[in-house]
Structure 1
Amino acid sequence: MGVFSLSHGVVSDDNILYTSSAGDGVFFSTSPIHRSPSSPLEIIAYYPYTTEASQGQIPMNYAGQAQGKAPDYFYGKLSDVTWTPEPKVTLSRINALLQLVVTASPDFGDLSHLTVEAADVPLSACFDLVSDQFQYRGAKGTLDLAVRGHRAQAVAAAVVVPGVNYGDLVVTLSYGGRSVRWRPSPFVGKAGEVATYHLTLSGSGSGLHILETKGPGELSQEAPEGPIVLTPDGLKGERYNPYDPKFGAKPIDPSAGVDPLRPSPIEPSVKDSEGGGVPIDPSAGIDPLAPADMDPSIKEGDKPSSGVPIDPSAGKILPLNPGGDFTVKDQDGVPIDPSTPGIDPTDPDESTPGVDPNDPFGNVRPGVVAQYREEAVVRNARLLDHALFVRHMAPDAWFADGGSGTRRNYSILFDTKYHSPRYVAFPMYPAVIGNTDRSNRWDYDPELSRSIQPNLSRSYKTRGLSRGHMLSSGSRTASRPLNETTFYFSNMVPQNQSQNAGQWQQLEGKERNWAQQVSKYDTLYVVCGPVYSKEPLQMTTDRDGKQIPVPDATYKVFLRQEKSTGNWYSIGFVMPNRALPGTKYSDYSVTVSEVERQTGLQFFTHLPKDKAVGIKSQNDQSRWR
Structure 2
Amino acid sequence: MAKRRKKKQSSKGVIYLIALICIICLCYEPIAKVLHISPPVFGTERTERASARQSPVKSTSADENVLFPAPLKNVSEQILHRKGYTVSYNRDLKLPNWVAWELTPEKLTERESRTDKFLPDPDLPEDEAVTTDDYKGSGMDRGHMCPAGDNRWHWKAMQESFYMTNICPQNHNLNRGDWKELEEACRRWAQKEGRIYIVCGPVLYDRRHRTIGKKHKITVPEAFFKVILCTDSNPPKAIGFIYKNAPGNHPLDSYVNTVDEVERITGIDFFPALPDEIEEKVEAGLAQF
Q: What is the TM-score of this pair, normalised by structure 1?
A: 0.37
Amino acid paired to 1:570: A
Structure 1 pair 358/592, CA: closer, same or farther in 2 (3 Å)? farther
Aligned to 1:601: 268
Contact kept in structure 1, 2:135 and 2:212, CA below 8 Å: no
Amino acid paired to 2:220: V
Q: 1:572, 1:391 → 2: CA distance?
A: 23
Q: 2:238, 2:181 → 1: CA distance?
A: 18
Aligned to 2:255: 588
- 2:277 paired with 1:610: yes
Q: 2:197, 2:71 → 1: CA distance?
A: 18
Instruction: Name the SS of the counterpart of 1:610 in structure 2.
Output: helix
- 2:201 paired with 1:529: yes
Alpha-carbon deviation of 1:561? 2.4
Aligned to 1:388: 78
Aligned to 1:203: none
Structure 1 pair 357/426, CA: closer, same or farther in 2 (3 Å)? farther
Contact kept in structure 2, 1:539 and 1:547, CA below 8 Å: yes
More strand by share: 1
Q: 2:51, 2:127 → 1: CA distance?
A: 21
Structure 1 pair 478/580, CA: closer, same or farther in 2 (3 Å)? same
Aligned to 1:451: 127
Amino acid paired to 1:423: W
Alpha-carbon deviation of 1:479? 3.5
Amino acid paired to 1:433: L
Aligned to 1:416: 91
Instruction: Name the SS of the counterpart of 2:189 in structure 1.
Output: helix
Alpha-carbon deviation of 1:441? 1.8
Q: What is the TM-score of this pair, normalised by structure 2?
A: 0.76
Residue of 548, 551, 556 corresponding to 2:226: 556
Per-residue CA deviations over 1:119-169 (Å, capped at 9, x if unaligned) read xxxxxxxxxxxxxxxxxxxxxxxxxxxxxxxxxxxxxxxxxxxxxxxxxxx
Q: 1:487, 1:580 → 2: CA distance?
A: 25
Give the aligned length. 245
Q: 2:173, 2:227 → 1: CA distance?
A: 21
Alpha-carbon deviation of 1:211? 7.6
Q: 2:239, 2:201 → 1: CA distance?
A: 15
More helix by share: 2
Per-residue CA deviations over 1:91-126 (Å, capped at 9, x if unaligned) read xxxxxxxxxxxxxxxxxxxxxxxxxxxxxxxxxxxx
Structure 1 pair 575/211, CA: closer, same or farther in 2 (3 Å)? farther
Alpha-carbon deviation of 1:522? 4.0
Contact kept in structure 1, 2:85 and 2:102, CA below 8 Å: yes
Alpha-carbon deviation of 1:611? 2.7
Instruction: Name the SS of the counterpart of 1:454 in structure 2.
Output: coil
- 2:68 paired with 1:375: yes
Aligned to 2:26: none
Structure 1 pair 445/511, CA: closer, same or farther in 2 (3 Å)? same
Contact kept in structure 2, 1:378 and 1:600, CA below 8 Å: no
Instruction: Name the SS of the counterpart of 1:487 in structure 2.
Output: coil
Aligned to 1:461: 137
Q: 1:357, 1:584 → 2: CA distance?
A: 46
- 2:186 paired with 1:511: yes
Alpha-carbon deviation of 1:355? 6.9
Aligned to 2:165: 490
Following superposition of structure 1 onto structure 2, how do residues 45-84 of structure 1 map, counting pairs within 5 Å? none
Alpha-carbon deviation of 1:446? 2.5
Residue of 242, 266, 285 corresponding to 1:574: 242
Aligned to 2:48: 356
Per-residue CA deviations over 1:330-373 (Å, capped at 9, x if unaligned) read xxxxxxxxxxxxxxxxxxxxx9xx9737865653579xxx9622
Amino acid paired to 2:276: K
Q: 1:361, 1:529 → 2: CA distance?
A: 26
Instruction: Name the SS of the counterpart of 1:481 in structure 2.
Output: helix
Structure 1 pair 458/364, CA: closer, same or farther in 2 (3 Å)? closer
Instruction: Name the SS of the counterpart of 2:246 in structure 1.
Output: coil
Contact kept in structure 1, 2:105 and 2:194, CA below 8 Å: no
Structure 1 pair 480/603, CA: closer, same or farther in 2 (3 Å)? same
Q: 1:514, 1:210 → 2: CA distance?
A: 53
Alpha-carbon deviation of 1:210? 11
Residue of 434, 441, 459 corresponding to 2:117: 441
Structure 1 pair 355/511, CA: closer, same or farther in 2 (3 Å)? farther
Q: 1:374, 1:444 → 2: CA distance?
A: 25
Alpha-carbon deviation of 1:450? 3.0
Alpha-carbon deviation of 1:596? 1.1
Amino acid paired to 1:536: R
Q: Determine which structure has more spread, i.e. the larger CA radius of gyration.
A: 1
Q: Give the RMSD, CA atoms, in angstroms.
A: 2.8
Q: 2:47, 2:269 → 1: CA distance?
A: 21
Alpha-carbon deviation of 1:444? 1.9
Alpha-carbon deviation of 1:431? 2.1
Structure 1 pair 578/616, CA: closer, same or farther in 2 (3 Å)? same
Instruction: Name the SS of the counterpart of 1:516 in structure 2.
Output: helix
Alpha-carbon deviation of 1:606? 1.8
Q: 2:236, 2:155 → 1: CA distance?
A: 33
Q: 2:67, 2:154 → 1: CA distance?
A: 22
Contact kept in structure 2, 1:460 and 1:494, CA below 8 Å: no
Contact kept in structure 2, 1:522 and 1:561, CA below 8 Å: no
Q: Which has the higher contact order (CA 8 A, sep 6+)?
A: 2
Q: 2:89, 2:254 → 1: CA distance?
A: 29
Q: 2:276, 2:49 → 1: CA distance?
A: 25
Contact kept in structure 1, 2:102 and 2:196, CA below 8 Å: yes
Q: 2:205, 2:161 → 1: CA distance?
A: 26
Q: 1:447, 1:508 → 2: CA distance?
A: 27
Per-residue CA deviations over 1:534-568 (Å, capped at 9, x if unaligned) read 31111111xx52111110101110000245x3x11
Alpha-carbon deviation of 1:382? 0.7
Amino acid paired to 1:388: Q
Unaligned runs of 5+ in 1: 1-208, 214-350, 395-408
Unaligned runs of 5+ in 2: 1-32, 38-43
Instruction: Name the SS of the counterpart of 1:601 in structure 2.
Output: coil
Amino acid paired to 2:116: N
